[in-house]
Structure 1
Amino acid sequence: MKRWLNKAEVVLGNHSDRLNAINIFPVADGDTGTNLYLTMRAAAAALGGPADSVETGNDVGAVLARAGQAAMERARGNSGTLIAVFLSAAAEPLAGKPRLNAPLLAAALHRAQIRAWSALSEPVSGTMLSVLEAAAHAAQAVDANQEGDQSNHALGLALDAAVEAAFQAVVRTEDELAPLHEAHVVDAGGVGMLLVLDCLRSAVLGEELQDELLDGLHGYKLQDPHIHQHMPADDGVEVMCTIDLSPLDAAVLRQRLDEMGDSVIMSQVGGAARAEDDDDSPMDVSYRWRIHVHVPDPGPAVELIRSLGEPADIAVSQLAVPRDAAGGHDD
């Protein structure tokens, strides 16, 4: 797990500029690569110290859960939030397990794709969600064909199949979303998910990354320009925070944010509930949530969030990307 996350941090850092260059969905803000890298950096950093090894022990689920929670707390943007959801959800079936195998990989990817799709109020095909779903289905097919074989050989087959399915799903994104088809590029978040999955394959099998996977992706050559140059700037802001909410308040917040803006993502941070008093009523239980939304004006959204609890780490950023004369961008 640690080798995977460290490798993913480096790879996403190396590819952040090209991912930014083709980022136009859901908004052309040119920061998908940066957001994925910074979120994965937070995940990898959470596993840095000796004390961490003592606490997590020989438990791949505990290691990944710690990384996922750190990623969720520091998630950046749509893509970063979804990659944090992916890590946190994938950890759940691995809890208490000393090693990864094909059945566990299939279960982890299945859980992650369900949680990722449900985190968004309006999930869209042709994005990193589709890429994760394709990888999950491929891993499940291999596991079924191998009849639950827990050998390293079966795990290798499942990882190879998941990465190949992810690649094919990335290629399909160009025709699944009209903005991508018009710009003649694949989805940036989908490429990021593909890179993360190939890093997992590489870390587990001890093999090199499959750089050739990226050769045929439209818009991904180094000489290709950033495609934001001639696009209109996006209005509005992105609001993110973390907050403790009861299930009822979480449902109310999601509904109200859906009315105010779009790109609403709400996902639990960690799985433990916190009781407010000695009463065992479900209405008195609170969960920690990571909130993400795009709105025209941050004021009403922040006011709504504060009316339901005490948010932490509120971040408001403009969706518009500064362009320079050469058509570049500032991260």
Structure 2
Amino acid sequence: MTKPDVCTTPGYSFRQRTNSDVEGCELVLEVGDTVGGRALRRWAEIALQALEERRHEINTLNVFPVPDGDTGTNLVLTLQSAVENIGGPVDGALTASDVSERLARGAFLGARGNSGVIVAQALRGVADAVAGHTTIDGRGLADALRRASKLVMKALSTPEEGTIVSVLEAAAEGAEKAARSTDTTVCDVTVAAADAAADALQQTPAQLDVLAEAGVVDAGGLGLVILLDCLVEITTGQRPQRRLQITRTPAPPVAASSGDRLSAPRTETQQDYEVMYVVERAEPEDIDVLRVRLDALGDSVAVVGDGAGSWSVHVHCCDPGAAVEAGLAAGSLIRIDITCFALGATNDGDCAVPSHTPAAVVPRRTPATGERAVLAVVAGHGARELFESEGASVLHVDTDFGPGRLLDAVRALPSGDVLVLPNGSLPAQDVVAVGAQARSENRNVMFLPSSSMVQGLAALAVHDPGRATVDDAFAMSEAAAAVRWGSLRVARERALTWVGQCEPGDSLGLSGHDVVVIEHDLVAAGVALLDKILAAGGELVTMLVGADAPAGLAEQLTEHLDHRHPALEVVVYRGGQRSDLLQLGVE
């Protein structure tokens, strides 16, 4: 790279000097060829601006470790938190040590995503290396980058070649090589580090198959090169203009059709959630145990320290609750954030954004207004008509249903207050993720504990729009919880249950989600199931007949109830659901 004769960065100037021992010419800072606190502050500011300008570009390159298209956004949020934490005077009174420590602390607290955590840990390494120093010279910069690389490698359970980790390691090696010369300036070290990082970035597709297949370089690695190029601008006055050589035009982030799981083919190891939190008041040995537990739960595990007894944790997993519980076993948790990748794919190409995301980075949707609504998730046309007749807004689903469709349905409602009856349509962690995302968009959403449509009907029966939202939600939740429910199904394969082994074609009676009856005859299974559920008493039995139920099933079961429990009231509806031949509830 050709160095300029005049620095273009406001507040800085350079002079040209020649040296017979060095080819060409060098530029050195008139203030002593070092980087001080004011220069570091300026670097962070222009780096944040550069990342924001190229956020979408970085997002489109994001295919590893998950193709959620949010690396650029996460880097912006992380560095934004770092810059906001600098504070203090702007007249140069802050030293390099002061600014680097504040940058590291701010990035630690605001780290977002895998790349954000890595950058925060790299800044921690820089802060540790320059602690107590007023300025940073070339040798000090090389030491800081080496310290950053070592800390990052230590923080990751399984560092991957071809990622931001490789790019950072190359930058440290380039800086160390340049710093060996006695005449090396901070400009030389900075340029060498940035050039080495750019070369390493270009090699990432050859190191990671998923990048080669997508025809892109590593997204996080590009973000790091941008940060280093901005440091070059601070020390030389000119930012390098680089062109990436890739095999084809990067594809846009993978979007989920109809809001379901990511439409890319799912692998056995693909995780559904990104979990992040900060652990406080934990002993080092507890953190070691936490890392082992997280490695068993998922991948992309990063546990980074702030140097003051707190640790930022990042993991991709299928069970976010277990990941949080692992953290609670280690210490006190703050800043817990759970992102569902499937929901992130529905959010305008970027990953789901936490509630503290600045509106300037990702625009918020306009919050809804109006009266409270009840949204019920139902299967079957008969059930749909039934819930609509009771005043609910209905999301009619079939077997192909994901959390994104539920989030879209909540967004489509004109009401600011929404009570949702999920009716067992999604796992609990998906429901939690949808609620968190909806609330981050300024919607007052409450999910009620209805695990079946018969419980949803009971809750809807006591709904009163004239009550306060929390009171209405409590009454509806209590009504749902009072319903004991079960279902009849036919076994599709051999399986071991609580009551023995079932064979394909066997009739199964389930109480809640557990098999409690296995029979060869469907009516016999229904009779046995009813008797078991009614053993604790009951006054009303509600039956929802499925689309594939044999003719006369509900009538035969009603006849049994009339004979065995004559005081019971029985109500039968044609639900038309495909999941159960018959769903029943007892109140």
Partner of 1:2: 41
Match of 1:205 among 217, 220, 236: 236
Q: What SS is found at the alignment partner of 1:320?
A: helix
Structure 1 residues 193, 330: closer, same or farther in 2, change over 3 A? Answer: closer
Pairing 1:166-185 to 2, within 5 Å after superposition: 166-185=197-216
Structure 1 residues 320, 214: closer, same or farther in 2, change over 3 A? Answer: farther
Structure 1: segments with no counterpart, 5+ residues: 273-286
- Separation (CA, whole Å) in 2 of partners of 1:94 and 1:48: 19
Deviations, residues 10-65 of structure 1 (Å, cap 9, x unaligned): 01111110111010111111100000011001111112343xx69x9442022111
Partner of 1:132: 168
1:190 correspondence with 2:198: no
Amino acid at match of 1:266: V
CA-CA distance at 1:303 after TM superposition: 1.5
- Separation (CA, whole Å) in 1 of partners of 2:95 and 2:246: 37
Partner of 1:228: 254
Structure 1 residues 185, 13: closer, same or farther in 2, change over 3 A? Answer: same
Partner of 1:243: 279
Amino acid at match of 2:293: R
8 Å Cα contact 2:214/2:251 also seen in 1: no
1:44 correspondence with 2:83: yes
- Separation (CA, whole Å) in 2 of partners of 1:252 and 1:192: 31
Pairing 1:296-311 to 2, within 5 Å after superposition: 296-311=318-333
Match of 2:105 among 49, 69, 72: 69
8 Å Cα contact 1:235/1:320 also seen in 2: no
Q: What SS is found at the alignment partner of 2:336?
A: strand
- Separation (CA, whole Å) in 2 of partners of 1:7 and 1:218: 30
- Separation (CA, whole Å) in 2 of partners of 1:258 and 1:5: 33
Partner of 1:278: none
- Separation (CA, whole Å) in 2 of partners of 1:11 and 1:88: 21
1:90 correspondence with 2:126: yes
Q: What SS is found at the alignment partner of 2:245?
A: coil
- Whichever structure has more helix as a proportion of its residues is 1
8 Å Cα contact 1:29/1:321 also seen in 2: no
Deviations, residues 236-271 of structure 1 (Å, cap 9, x unaligned): 1111111121011011111111111111100111x2
Deviations, residues 92-140 of structure 1 (Å, cap 9, x unaligned): 1211222221100100000000001111011111100111110100110
CA-CA distance at 1:205 after TM superposition: 2.2
Partner of 2:477: none
Amino acid at match of 2:304: S
Structure 1 residues 303, 111: closer, same or farther in 2, change over 3 A? Answer: same
8 Å Cα contact 1:186/1:218 also seen in 2: no
Partner of 1:261: 298
Q: What SS is found at the alignment partner of 1:98?
A: coil
1:214 correspondence with 2:251: no
1:329 correspondence with 2:349: yes
8 Å Cα contact 1:321/1:330 also seen in 2: no
Amino acid at match of 1:77: G
Structure 1 residues 249, 133: closer, same or farther in 2, change over 3 A? Answer: same
Partner of 1:11: 50
User: How many pairs are equivalent?
Assistant: 301
What is the CA RMSD across the aligned residues, in angstroms?
2.1
Query: What is the percentage of aligned positions where both structures have the same residue?
Result: 37
Q: What SS is found at the alignment partner of 1:214?
A: coil
Partner of 1:314: 336
8 Å Cα contact 2:68/2:344 also seen in 1: no
CA-CA distance at 1:321 after TM superposition: 5.4
Deviations, residues 45-96 of structure 1 (Å, cap 9, x unaligned): 112343xx69x94420221111111111110000000011111111112112
CA-CA distance at 1:218 after TM superposition: 5.2
Pairing 1:96-111 to 2, within 5 Å after superposition: 96-111=132-147
Deviations, residues 249-297 of structure 1 (Å, cap 9, x unaligned): 011111111111111100111x23xxxxxxxxxxxxxx21111111101
Partner of 2:189: 158
- Separation (CA, whole Å) in 2 of partners of 1:49 and 1:181: 45
Q: What SS is found at the alignment partner of 2:316?
A: strand
- Whichever structure has more strand as a proportion of its residues is 2
Structure 1 residues 171, 305: closer, same or farther in 2, change over 3 A? Answer: same
Q: What SS is found at the alignment partner of 1:13?
A: helix
8 Å Cα contact 2:167/2:201 also seen in 1: yes
- Separation (CA, whole Å) in 2 of partners of 1:308 and 1:135: 34
8 Å Cα contact 2:202/2:244 also seen in 1: no
- Separation (CA, whole Å) in 1 of partners of 2:343 and 2:167: 26
CA-CA distance at 1:214 after TM superposition: 3.2
Amino acid at match of 2:235: V
Structure 2: segments with no counterpart, 5+ residues: 1-39, 256-262, 352-587
Match of 1:79 among 98, 101, 115: 115
Pairing 1:266-281 to 2, within 5 Å after superposition: 266-269=303-306, 271-272=307-308
CA-CA distance at 1:323 after TM superposition: 4.7
TM-score, normalised via structure 1 length: 0.85
Amino acid at match of 1:88: R
- Separation (CA, whole Å) in 1 of partners of 2:186 and 2:109: 31
8 Å Cα contact 1:4/1:204 also seen in 2: no
- Separation (CA, whole Å) in 1 of partners of 2:294 and 2:197: 31
- Separation (CA, whole Å) in 2 of partners of 1:297 and 1:42: 28
8 Å Cα contact 2:157/2:302 also seen in 1: yes
CA-CA distance at 1:330 after TM superposition: 3.5
